[in-house]
Chains A and B, each alone.
Chain A
Amino acid sequence: MAAVMPAPAASRLLLSGNEAVARAVWEAGVKVAAAYPGTPATEMLEVVATYPDLYAEWSVNEKVSLEVAIGAAYAGSRAFCCMKHVGMNVAADALMTLTLTGVCGGLVIAVADDVGLSSSQNEQDSRYWGRFAHVPVLEPADSQEAYAMTLAAYELSERFQVPVILRMTTRINHVKSLVTVGERVAHAGPGFRKDPARFVMVPGNAGKRIPLMFQRDRDLRALAETSPLNVIEPGRDRRVGFITSGPAYMHVKEAFPEAPVLKLGFSHPAPFARCRELAALVDQVVVVEEVEPLLETELKAQGLAVVGKEILPLQGELSPAVLRPAIARLLGETLPENAVSGASTVALPVFPRPPTMCVACPHLGVYYTLSQVRNLNISGDIGCYTLGAGHPWNALDTCVSMGASMGIALGMDKGRGEADKDKRVVAVIGDSTFLHMGMQGLLDMVYNKGNVTVLLLDNRAVGMTGGQDNPGNGRDIHGDDAPRIDFAKLVSALGVRDERIHVVNPYELPVLFKTIREEVKVPEVSVIITDQPCVLIKDYHKLKPYAVSDDKCTGCGNCVDVGCPAIHVTRRGKEVKASGREVDLAFVRIDSSVCTGCGLCLQPCAPKAIEHYVPSAPIQFASRGGCQA
């Protein structure tokens, strides 16, 4: 992607929180920005990379991205690193010692908490890292604040020589609202100045840095007491006052416009004196925070009588609809069924619509095949291919963390009980996840003589987050040429025997089936690499679409088991076989307007009823009602 001309200063732009942070990163004169993609954080670095005058990279994982940022900050340049909440777990090893060395150039770590798990394996509160690592936490409540606090975070970072966490949530990252932007100010770094007592964290040096860290905590708390990012809005209805931060502030203001509020933008170390000031104004104090009762617990330890998670949920997003009844109960009031308009707020029952794999996705062939092989325990990983756990394949048995499929598969193998003695263990992992944290697990599996068949699904993209480039596809963050990793050579270098490495086209079902069936019988580590690109990236080329010949379709339904969303059942039936067994029939059609001709569905089709689509006449301007449901 070529650099674009940034919008001029004072422009009022409709920006997501991610876009707002990216703009501020550029304005702050950041020189180095690094990240691994992860929803809802991905767009921050994607947008940063479109700005001129800075270096941006997709790193192989969050720990490396933070280390790249640390190096730049040690060299005196401003640096930026962003990640989703679980990415911080990966980066934490570096963070926990970074807090001792501190930084020279400003370093901001933007962490996006997926509160409500829209696209994550768990829910975490990244504000904990502020407490754990003794670093300040800023919490924006909308895009304008995300922009302004990013700029403020760089000032804070350099003033205290400390990395700063910008804690965001999905409702900040992905909400678009108006932002007034400013000018870029170039920031010249002085270069790296050697200082082993500060930068070489051996025990003797590190121990001397710890008291400095505690002093910094005290100084930061004193600053938080007077920070303009922490504001008391006195309000008029003094029955309940709120202490809140992040998007929860907006929900509080929406639901209780007249209530006193202490809004914490600089939320850690928390300004206890300001909290007491708010408490003095009101009858009761409610702490409204997503997700964990962090501030609430600290305030209770300070002897403040506050209410929090006793009345508010510990899980998921807050909203005015959650807050109103909770506060009404606290005050002993009753709310009408719908305080807003008297409308019914009971949802009509409608089928679920879980995410599906795309039409012609190369993973379809893998999961269709796995679903046809018996006696497998399948250790899965994180990416689009996690969807293999769903219908119709049901061919993925675990999903924990990035790269975990490797270690878990080995553990399943070594820890197998009597009931599993004939089971074969398979691990499924994508290209980017393998490079992120799977390689080490495979090395461990080889070294410890595991009996696991690894399916390495190389679709040349970080698919689930939108097809970002990675070392597996030979393109950098700008789409320019970059060295491309050779997966067969890589797994060979990790010790997998060359006879046990197979590169297979996942659209060739008989080959894939035979390879998997043979390799699971071999009692050692095998790696089967599938090599076809994600259908959403430019490497994918569409082929001629298919259609079902109605007079040939026997309703066997085999094609439906492939799981392609272009296949639709037109009618169902039953047939009594000669054996007396009754079987269900499903007659199908292919939506030829979305079919890209991958040919997966025609391979299991018993009557050969799937043929290339031939447009019957110039009917694309069909009459209304001619459109099939």
Chain B
Amino acid sequence: MSATTNILVVGIGGQGVMTATEILAEAAIALGHDAKKTEVAGMAQRGGVVSSHLRFGDRVLSPQITPGSADVLLGFESAEAMRWQHMLRKGGITLMNTARLVPPVVELGLFEYPADPLGEIRKTGNKVVAFDATTIAEELGDIRLGNTVMLGAIADHLPFGAEILLDCVLKRFARKGEKLLELNRRAFAAGRAAVGAAEAALA
């Protein structure tokens, strides 16, 4: 990876994209990096597009990731992972949830949801790993664990160890009781395992 690491986290308003990016930033800072996090969010609370930029390294200047320079794209939703492919550098990787969140403009028949976002991404030649984070979270008993599943998914694609990121995730739940901590540990592990298994299948 280059001197500055560029992580792009994308999804739609309300999915927890900004919180996930913030936890990634906390992990980078815990390791002594400089870090900047910024969003193109607009009125994202209302179901709009969210793309959250995280840059970390010795010294970060511009907070925005330049198109064509993201190292990792973490996609919380299929079409959103597709929307931001142009941000990836050559050799960059997409880690994407296969969930499809269909907006009203598509329901109304004004636009079409792409039939196969994963296929479209593969056609670009960019490396992509897909997994069903929503179902994994549901299987663990709470769809809200999806955020932690996503962080587990990126854990082995960072220039630092997964344990630091897991610590930062668990810090968020430190006062919420051991049961929730254990669930998040499992969600994180399940995200890591899902990406690991998908990559092994690709290899």
- Chain A interface residues toward B at CB < 8 A: 12, 14, 118-119, 142, 171, 174-178, 247, 250-251, 253-255, 319-321, 338, 340-348, 350-358, 384, 387, 391-392, 464, 466, 536, 560, 563, 565, 567-569, 572, 584, 586, 593, 620-622, 624-627, 629
How far is A171 from B108 in the complex, measured between Cα atoms in Å?
Answer: 34
Sampled A-B contacts (12; CB under 8 Å): A174-B41, A342-B68, A342-B90, A343-B86, A345-B86, A348-B120, A353-B48, A353-B49, A355-B42, A355-B47, A391-B104, A593-B143
- Shortest distance between the CB of A389 and any CB in chain B (Å): 13
- Beyond A343-B88, A350-B114, whether A177 also contacts B103 by CB under 8 A is no
Q: Which residue of A lies closest to B89 (CB)?
A: A341
- Interface of chain B residues 64 through 94 with chain A (CB within 8 A): 64, 66-69, 79-80, 82-92
CB within 8 A of A348: which of B25, B49, B83? B83
A627 B46 Cβ-Cβ under 8 A: no
CB A513 to nearest CB in B, in angstroms, measures 22
Contact B113 A351 (CB under 8 A): yes
A344 and B90 CA atoms in complex are apart in Å by 8
CA distance A384 to B39 in the complex (A): 20
Closest Cβ of chain B to A120, distance in Å, is 10
Chain A residues, CB < 8 A from B104: 356, 391-392, 563, 565
Cβ–Cβ contact B111 & A568, under 8 A:
no
**Residues in chain A near residue B66, CB distance under 8 A:** 319-321, 340
* A118-B42 Cα distance, complex, nearest whole Å: 4
Assess whether B106 is in contact with A176, with CB atoms less than 8 Å apart. no
Q: Contacts A466-B45, A624-B139; is A629 near B100 (CB within 8 Å)? A: yes
Chain B interface: which size bin? Answer: 35 or more
- B residues apposed to A, CB below 8 Å: 12-13, 22, 25-26, 29, 34-49, 60-64, 66-69, 79-80, 82-92, 100, 102-114, 120-121, 124, 132, 134-135, 138-139, 141, 143
Other CB < 8 Å A-B pairs besides A118-B41, A356-B47, 13 of them?
A14-B29, A174-B39, A250-B61, A253-B61, A254-B61, A341-B89, A344-B86, A348-B120, A350-B82, A353-B48, A354-B48, A621-B139, A621-B141
Query: Considering the complex of A and B, which 5 residue pairs feature the smallest CB-CB distances, nearest first?
Result: A355-B46, A351-B111, A355-B43, A355-B48, A254-B62
The smallest C-beta distance from A450 to any residue of chain B, in angstroms, reads: 31
Choose among B47, B48, B68 the residue that contacts A338 (Cβ–Cβ < 8 A). Answer: B68
Asked if B38 contacts A346 (CB within 8 A), the reply is: no
A124–B161 CA distance with the chains assembled, in angstroms: 44
B37 engages A175 (CB within 8 Å): yes
- Is there an interface contact between A392 and B36, defined as CB atoms closer than 8 Å? no
Which of A12, A14, A142, A350 neighbours the largest number of chain B CB atoms within 10 Å of its CB?
Answer: A350
Q: Are B111 and A352 in contact (CB under 8 A)?
A: yes
- Alpha-carbon separation in the docked complex, A346 to B83 (Å): 10
Contacts A321-B67, A384-B46, A622-B138 given: A353-B12 contact, CB under 8 Å?
yes
A387 to B42, CA, bound (A): 13
Chain A residues within 8 Å of B26, by CB: 14
Chain A residues with Cβ below 8 Å from B63 are 142, 171, 175, 177, 247, 250
Q: Which residues of A contact B106 (CB under 8 A)?
A: 351
- Measured in the bound complex, the distance between the Cα atoms of B24 and A465 in whole Å is 25
A contact residues around B121 at 8 Å (CB):
348
Min distance, Cβ A601 to any Cβ of chain B, angstroms = 12
Chain A neighbourhood of B83, CB < 8 A:
347-348, 350
Contact B108 A560 (CB under 8 A): yes
Complex-state Cα separation, A176 to B24, whole angstroms: 12
Q: Considering the chains assembled together, what is the distance between the CA atoms of A341 and B6 in angstroms?
A: 13
Of A177, A321, A560, most B-chain CB atoms within 10 Å? A177
Taking a contact as CB atoms closer than 8 A, the residue among B62, B92, B141, B143 that contacts A319 in the complex is B62
Query: In the complex, A175→B60 CA distance in Å?
Result: 12
Residues A353 and B105 in contact in the complex (CB < 8 Å), given A344-B124, A384-B46: yes
Contact A347 B86 (CB under 8 A): yes
Chain B residues within 8 Å of A572, by CB: 109
Residue of A341, A464, A567 near B90 (CB, 8 A) is A341
What residues of chain A lie closer than 8 Å to B124, measured between beta carbons?
344, 348
Task: Report the bound CA distance from A174 to B85 in whole Å.
Answer: 24
- In contact, A351 and B79 (Cβ under 8 angstroms): yes
| Residues of the A chain whose Cβ atoms lie less than 8 Å from the Cβ of B132 | 624-625, 627
In whole angstroms, what is the CA distance A348 to B114 when docked? Answer: 11
Name the CB-closest residue of A to B107.
A569
- A386 to chain B: closest CB distance in Å? 9
Q: Are A629 and B102 in contact, with the CB atoms below 8 A?
A: yes
Q: Is the CB of B86 within 8 A of A346?
A: yes
Given A176-B22, A350-B82, check contact A624 B67 (CB 8 Å): no
CB distance from A622 to the nearest CB of B (A): 6
**Does the CB pair B35–A14 fall under 8 Å?**
yes
- Name, among A250, A357, A536, A563, the residue most crowded by chain B CB atoms within 10 Å (CB to CB): A250
Give chain A residues whose Cβ lies under 8 Å from the Cβ of B37.
14, 175-177
Nearest-neighbour CB distance to chain A for B138, whole angstroms, equals: 6
- Contacts A253-B61, A320-B62, A563-B104: A345 and B25 contacting too (C-beta < 8 A)? no
CB distance from B106 to the nearest CB of A (A): 6
Contact call A175/B143, Cβ cutoff below 8 A: no
A14 to B112, CA, bound (A): 40
Known: A118-B40, A358-B46, A620-B141. A351 touches B103 (CB 8 A): yes
What is the chain A residue whose CB lies nearest that of B40?
A118
Q: How far is the CA of A560 from the CA of B41 in the complex (A)?
A: 26
Structural contact, B44 and A355, CB atoms closer than 8 A: yes
Q: Which residues of B contact A351 (CB under 8 A)?
A: 79, 103, 105-106, 111-114
A114 to B, closest residue via Cβ: B42
Closest Cβ of chain A to B109, distance in Å, is 7
Please name the residue on chain B nearest to A255 by beta carbon.
B62
Check B86 against A353 for contact (C-beta < 8 Å).
Answer: no
Shortest Cβ gap from A316 to chain B (Å): 12
